[in-house]
A and B are shown apart, each in its own frame.
Chain A
Amino acid sequence: MSALAGHALALRGLTKRYGAFTAVDDVSLEVAQGQFLTLLGPSGSGKTTILMAVAGFVAPSAGTVLLDGGDITPLPPEKRDFGMVFQGYALFPHMSVADNVAFPLRVRGMSRADRDAKVRAALDLVQLQKFTDRLPRQLSGGQQQRVALARALVFDPKLLLLDEPLSALDKKLRAELQEELKALHRRIGRTFVNVTHDQEEALSLSDTIAILNHGKLVQIGDPNGLYERPRTRFVADFLGKSNFLEGTVRTRMAEGFLLEAGPVQLRVHGAGPAEGTRALLSLRPEKLALLAEGETADNVVEGTIRAWSYLGAGSSLVVATEHLGEIRAVLPAWKSSIDPAEGLRVRLGWAADAAVPVEEDAA
């Protein structure tokens, strides 16, 4: 397959209403050439509707879909030249692997010889050369997924759209195919748009993640930026786990502010809301440390372990505190200084730059 530069996709004010229900609400975003964008959200967040609008299966109620700056909104799906991997793959059950992959070439009237060469190249790309004559049902889930990929890529599509491509696979295979998908994306340099509700998949695959909720784009950015600096409570909660600490902004300092939660004052780095206003902090469980006797940190809180679970690589504690409610902490098992037990008193500490202020979600 030739190394083509990808195409750039942009959505402008994309909206889709079904009667009184707004599935997609004024979403605008841009995907640069060769980028891997993931639309991430819970079910009903509108992510699939957006993908279907890009593919041309859903006509938007308002807004436009632009490819390299050109408006493609009125084009039917068959005129868009986008490859798509469907949820459940949608392989043609009556066609062999080779015929499935050849289908997009056949509808374009390509000669058999040219078709065969391209099909071979596409199956090479996904390492399925040996399975050309099998029927889809004779393949494992992972193999079917690769056939779907080969079929979506064989005609040099302008974009590759993926609708929950890994959701039907078991966890181990999913991790394997995630890596393959990422390597494939690097190799062919095409623009990919992926839809998933799996935050781990989104974090590991994407250059850019767009987080959606109730049809609205909540935040868009690179995985690290989104994880470290979530803008709202929803983003912090959906992308990974998070503790939420609520309080009033008191003294502003050079590098941050103090948050007053009852009698407790928490030191927070970074710009925050104005003094005197309510503020919400997101604190990732893995940023908490268990403090030994005499050890100290920017912020320290004491509590009793209410529940704990062993996770292999670490243990997760739920600590009931007097003024901050329940706090979840994930501690690496190999350097844990205590044997967790319910009812045990512990001291937790975290650095001033560990917690970030987030906005409460708009109702």
Chain B
Amino acid sequence: MHGTYGAGPFGRGLAWATALYLLLPILIVVPVALTDQRYLSLPKDGISLRHFETVLTSPEWLGSIWQSFTIAIAASALSVVAGTLCAIGCWRVSRRSTDIVRVLMLLPLIIPSIVYAIGLYRYFGPLGLLDRFLGVVIAHGVTGIPYVVITVSTALATFDPRLEQAARGMGASLFQTLRWVILPRIMPGIFSGAIFAFIHSWDELVMVLFIASRDVFTLPRRIWDGINENLDPAMAAVAVLLIVFTLSLLLADRALRRRSEAG
């Protein structure tokens, strides 16, 4: 930082230690994924891409990746529509009651997901939603709503309410105002929310363990089972692929935000 005093050696060391502590567990899977051994270990005689090959040719792994992907797409679509409408509704009405609604919408973030999962298990059984694509989409979509409500509400906080008044004053209906004035202004917020909702569904395990068993077998679920049953380094390869994918999503979000800030 310009013009300020730097941190002392202790502070500097602590900062680095914290950063490493956060990063190492993530980075350790990279060499593990490149191991030439048949079990989870660091490379011994050289690096190899065989485990990546295993993953990318195995119908089980590919099936799970595809299933996780489609679930995450459908779930984030659900989160985006519901979360955006909720945020806009609360913003427009803006009374004390809407503050309560907004807090209620954050519940899935606050309540431990295992509690949620137990509830869903009891509730989905009679509805025939257990071990169904739709069931997992609903579970992930609903628990993804908070991310969208937060990001869209943040975007709306900087939205000048006079723009809406101006649009209405010039004869625009509510729908026209929404489409031409409000939505284009809060698009970056909606997009951020969508990315977070997607990531939320993409790596969600606890609920899937409860409400899915055989037909719906998502990627985190397969990694979980892999860890429990055999120590196949293919899991490390999957983990690397997940990191790359998630990282690129976050970078996309960042780039988009920067563009909208410049714009």
Task: State in angstroms the CA–CA spacing of A86 and B161 once bound together.
Answer: 11
State whether the Cβ of B56 lies closer than 8 Å to any Cβ in chain A: no
Contact at B171–A107, with CB atoms within 8 Å?
A: yes
- Identity of the chain A residue whose Cβ is nearest the Cβ of B172 in the assembled complex: A107
State whether the Cβ of B248 lies closer than 8 Å to any Cβ in chain A: no
- Chain A residue numbers with a CB within 8 Å of B172 are 78, 103-104, 107
Task: State in angstroms the CA–CA spacing of A155 and B170 once bound together.
Answer: 9
Selected contact of B169 from candidates A82, A93, A106, A108, CB within 8 Å: A82
State whether the Cβ of B213 lies closer than 8 Å to any Cβ in chain A: no
Contact at B171–A90, with CB atoms within 8 Å?
A: no
Contacts known (A103-B167, A103-B180); A90 close to B160, Cβ less than 8 A: yes
CB under 8 Å from chain A, chain B span 131-179:
160, 162-163, 165-173, 176
Hey, which bits of chain B sit against chain A, CB under 8 A? 160, 162-163, 165-173, 176, 180-181, 184-185, 263
9 closest A-B pairs (Cβ-Cβ)? A104-B170, A90-B166, A90-B162, A107-B172, A84-B169, A77-B168, A78-B171, A77-B169, A94-B184
B260 shortest CB reach to chain A, Å: 10
Contact at B169–A78, with CB atoms within 8 Å?
A: yes
CB under 8 Å from chain B, chain A span 130-154:
151-152
Contact at B162–A107, with CB atoms within 8 Å?
A: no
Hey, which bits of chain A sit against chain B, CB under 8 A? 55-57, 76-84, 86-88, 90, 92-94, 103-104, 106-108, 151-152, 155
- Chain B residue numbers with a CB within 8 Å of A55 are 169
* Sample (23) of A-B pairs whose CB atoms are under 8 Å apart: A55-B169, A76-B168, A78-B168, A78-B170, A78-B171, A78-B172, A78-B173, A79-B171, A83-B169, A86-B162, A86-B165, A87-B162, A90-B160, A92-B166, A92-B167, A92-B181, A93-B185, A94-B185, A103-B172, A104-B170, A107-B180, A151-B170, A155-B170
Selected contact of B180 from candidates A82, A106, A152, CB within 8 Å: A106
- Chain A residue numbers with a CB within 8 Å of B160 are 88, 90
Contact at B184–A107, with CB atoms within 8 Å?
A: no
Task: State in angstroms the CA–CA spacing of A175 and B162 once bound together.
Answer: 26
- Identity of the chain A residue whose Cβ is nearest the Cβ of B181 in the assembled complex: A92
Contact at B171–A155, with CB atoms within 8 Å?
A: yes
Selected contact of B171 from candidates A57, A87, A92, A104, CB within 8 Å: A104
Contact at A103–B185, with CB atoms within 8 Å?
A: no
Task: State in angstroms the CA–CA spacing of A103 and B165 once bound together.
Answer: 13
B178 shortest CB reach to chain A, Å: 12
Contact at B184–A84, with CB atoms within 8 Å?
A: no
Task: State in angstroms the CA–CA spacing of A81 and B185 once bound together.
Answer: 25
Contact at B185–A108, with CB atoms within 8 Å?
A: no
B262 shortest CB reach to chain A, Å: 11
Contacts known (A93-B185, A103-B180, A106-B180); A84 close to B171, Cβ less than 8 A: no
Give the residue among B165, B169, B171, B185 with the most A Cβ atoms within 10 A. Answer: B169
Selected contact of A88 from candidates B162, B169, B176, CB within 8 Å: B162
Task: State in angstroms the CA–CA spacing of A104 and B181 once bound together.
Answer: 12
- Chain B residue numbers with a CB within 8 Å of A56 are 169
B256 shortest CB reach to chain A, Å: 14
- Identity of the chain B residue whose Cβ is nearest the Cβ of A104 in the assembled complex: B170
